Amino acid sequence: GENVEQHPSTLSVQEGDSAVIKCTYSDSASNYFPWYKQELGKRPQLIIDIRSNVGEKKDQRIAVTLNKTAKHFSLHITETQPEDSAVYFCAASIGSGGGADGLTFGKGTHLIIQP
Amino acid sequence: DAGVIQSPRHEVTEMGQEVTLRCKPISGHDYLFWYRQTMMRGLELLIYFNNNVPIDDSGMPEDRFSAKMPNASFSTLKIQPSEPRDSAVYFCASSRTGGNQPQHFGDGTRLSIL
């Protein structure tokens, strides 16, 4: 089955700096890569996703890049703010045709924004 | 729009008791997923349904776990008998049909087995 590795497990950055979280996956058939943000005691919330036919996607201060050859994808957050502090999860899934598949998650990155 | 609704939000029960978790997906979503989150194992898929039919239950840990989806607006995850190692947060998520549509999570059920 699919295996997703995520690094680092903890990331501390100064407010205003950029943060980068990296993930690798094992199954070359995976074609959908979402990122979720989870605050303490809350549900995971989708912040951005990318499909395998796209190399990069950006939404305001958040961007995701995908390298299918190397089987890795990354989350980039620019101009970090205190409210960005949370645990971030990457995930991968194989969706064939019009269907969907369950997500395989990385172990999470605890992002700490230092004031 | 109402999101994914789970109940109860918290459940504390003694070992050996039956536990039933409930989920109402977003209206119009054809896929429903059950996930479990623990510190040790992170977020892991237990089972998912498409149009009320179970598609992949390979993540269900043991025969003590069962899940049903009797109609498009309701699903249950049952543990019988429960054990302390089942303590976790159980999330339900749903998505539309159409090639990897985003999965939207409910607020979860925090389960504690004493």
Question: What is the per-residue pLDDT across A94-109, written as a single tens digit (0 to 9) for each?
Answer: 876 556 688 999 999 9
Q: Considering only CA atoms, which of B112, B98, B113, B103 is closest in space to residue B35?
A: B103
pLDDT tens, residue by residue, A11-67: 999 999 999 999 999 999 999 999 999 999 999 999 999 988 888 999 999 999 999
Q: Is A93 on the interface with B (CB under 8 A)?
A: yes
- Residue recorded with tokens 């549900």: A43
| B48, B97, B104 member nearest A102 (Cβ) | B48
Is residue A33 less than 8 Å (CB to CB) from chain B? Answer: no
Q: Which of A36, A31, A32 is nearest to A21 (CA)?
A: A36
Question: How far does CA A10 lie from the centroid of its chain?
Answer: 14
